[in-house]
Amino acid sequence: MPPVDAAPISVILPDQSRREIPTGTTVLGLAESIHKGLAKRSVAGKVNGREVDLGYQLADGDQVQILTTDDKESLEVLRHSTAHLMAMAVQKLFPSAKVTIGPVTEEGFFYDFDFERGFTPEDLEKIEAEMRKLSEAKLDVTRAEVAPADLAATVERFKAEGEPYKAEILQDIMTARPGETVTVYGHGGWSDLCRGPHVHNTSAIKHFKLLSVAGAYWRGSEKNRMLQRIYGTVYFTAEDLKAHLFRLEEAAKRDHRKVGKELELFMFSDLAPAMPFFLPKGAYVYNKFVEFIRELYDRHEYEEVITPLAYDPAIFRTSGHLGNYNENMYRLWTEDVCDHCEPGKLHEELQADTFVLKPMNCPSHCIIFGSKRRSYRELPWRVADFARLHRYERGGAVHGLARVRSFAQDDAHIFCTEEQVASEIEKFIAFLYEVYTVLGFSEVQVKLATRPEKRIGADDLWDRAEASLAQGLENGGLKYELLPGEGAFYGPKIEFHLKDAIGRTWQLGTIQYDPNLPERFDLTYIGEDGKEHRPVMLHRAILGSLERFFAVYLEHCAGAFPLWIAPTHAVVIPINDESQEYAREVKDFLKAAGLRVNLDDRNESLNYRIRDAQVHKVPYMLIIGKQEVEARSVAVRARAGGRNQVMPLDEVKVRMTAERDTRALTPQVVQEPVTQPT
């Protein structure tokens, strides 16, 4: 406690105004001194740029921001606190369960537990009920510091309490950051290691839901024990929680694995784990994405190359990937390699000499650039590649098309001078927004990811790289969020995050500044001064992994592709035998115009065939009856239903081809019914 007669202190608020407060005032005390309503909405604080608890005592000259329920950071604090509340509830109900880690996710939180059996849906209901009891108990959340001298004893205490994972985590902290003070947060006699901050009382945790259980290996390695991961989410209001649960319900309906199977777009086999097979319909959609990007490559002056898939490991030693990416690379070997290996050195020699299935295109493009003498007049050189890539993702990480082991990218690299970087970024941004507009993505968040701890290259190169990317964004008039430490190991990057039809965000496009690979491959060009200069390399993608984008777009449109992408544009449905001949004529006429049209003349009812076409998300049903035969017309029905619209066959062709050729996002032949909000 400060002395009674201690002099007041002054803190600086976000608007740069100063506020005088008594010595010893906490963040919550500051909020109360400003307004009771502010204190009621306060969750945590940010002092001199660092997030702290409401109980943090302020010092003279501190810059203070009070985080309220309106701030994004506050939601993360709430989610972290709820994860702790859940862990306490689990251990109260299941005392033999051991806690491991419980981080916040983009849409909620999870906690991993070592338990002798899997948690059931009934268990989740019990845990949730216990969490509500703990919330209603209004337990104060405490924070304690463990000094470096006491850490070893704390490790032994954790072991004695049957918490080996806590002990292991603390031991790792002591090894990695010796001399660091560690914090422990707790409530109601339960505690765990945590940096914080947390809410000040469990009563702040009200609107939560436990969602699912999944298996997860300790530290992500199949060599370790399988744990039980409980997922949950929480919000400050019941309305926000309800909206989130609705999005989850909608996302389950749109799950690309489910929709892809229903529409016969792709499949997987245990004989090629996590490597997709695109079926005829899916291959058509996939190739339409590629054709679209290729068409724009011509206009934006990119040149496409075709490169090998397998390489001598020397190329990846030069690039630095073998030092930073070993565990994700597929290696190839032949019998003669094994025949020449010394006994006991098979692994060592295979690692040293066996060819690599490339996990990225950039080293091969460096080989092409360096294959001849280049002039500054050739720059910028924009080179594109749709080669297949292979990356070994662990079994627990793969997820449908969203994370696979074999894929292609709309990958390109721009070799340019340092002076050209900002203008190339501007041109790329224009290209990217053109693509996203055609595809129907209107909300794009931009983020600048800077140097990570594990990186190659000198700091002065990173300084210039980060400054160039920021300049390109500013020249393009784009606001962006800074992501410190999230860049690639070879250079900083700009990320483009899209919001889909149900409000989820996906990181797709990226452009990365790389001064390091040109240095490693000794790439040069002859400048205007007749001397050798080092180019800059920009790595860029718009859709990113085509497999992942396929998953994102499939969920975005719930399988109802715009006509220009749809594998089937229309189904001709004759009502009776008398209309069969004209129906075949309609199909042939439209197919001659380049439209993908099928004939459904099965011996099924009209309603059954219409419903089948709708289930398969076919944009249009062309229904042929006696009147249509006599008038040489077609009754057109959109996949979303509504009234049939009768029009001449020639007009149907004109409207459908226009819808295809303009890449329209909404039906142009007939209007779909407007759904009234409920």
Torsion of CA 594, 553, 558, 606, to 10 degrees: 10
CB 185 within 8 A of CB 142: yes
Structure tokens belonging to residue 347: 């692994």
Distances (CA, A) of 386 to 362, 410, 661: 12, 6, 24
**Number of CB atoms found within 10 A of residue 14's CB:** 10
| Helix, strand, or coil (residue 506) | strand
| Helix, strand, or coil (residue 129) | helix
CB 209 within 8 A of CB 233: yes
Cα–Cα distance, 112 to 114 (Å, whole number): 7
Where does 59-194 have alpha helices with state H?
Answer: 72-93, 121-136, 151-160, 164-176
| Sequence-distant contacts of 369-375: CB under 8 A, at least 24 apart | 369/415, 369/521, 369/523, 369/535, 370/521, 370/522, 370/523, 373/526, 374/524, 374/525, 374/526, 374/535, 375/525, 375/526
**Residue 226 — φ and ψ, nearest 5°?**
-75, 130
Q: State the residue for tokens 């109802």.
A: 560
Structure tokens belonging to residue 5: 């007669």
**Residue 584 — φ and ψ, nearest 5°?**
-65, -35
**Residue 42 — φ and ψ, nearest 5°?**
-75, 140
Distances (CA, A) of 37 to 13, 29, 52, 140, 261: 17, 13, 20, 21, 52
Instruction: Give the contacts of 295 (CB within 8 A, at least 6 positions apart).
Output: none
**Residue 617 — φ and ψ, nearest 5°?**
60, 35
Cα–Cα distance, 351 to 343 (Å, whole number): 15
Cα–Cα distance, 210 to 109 (Å, whole number): 9
Q: State the residue for tokens 């660092």.
A: 50
Q: What residues are labeled active site? A: 362, 391, 409, 411, 413, 493, 539
Structure tokens belonging to residue 79: 């989610």
The closest of 200, 183, 197 to 51, measured between CA atoms, is 197
| Helix, strand, or coil (residue 635) | strand
To which H or E segment does residue 145 belong? strand 142-146
Specify burial of residue 350 (Cβ count, 10 A radius: 0-12, 13-18, 19+). Answer: middle
Omega prior to 380 cis, within 30 of 0 = yes
Structure tokens belonging to residue 464: 């210039």
The closest of 145, 175, 171, 134 to 156, measured between CA atoms, is 171
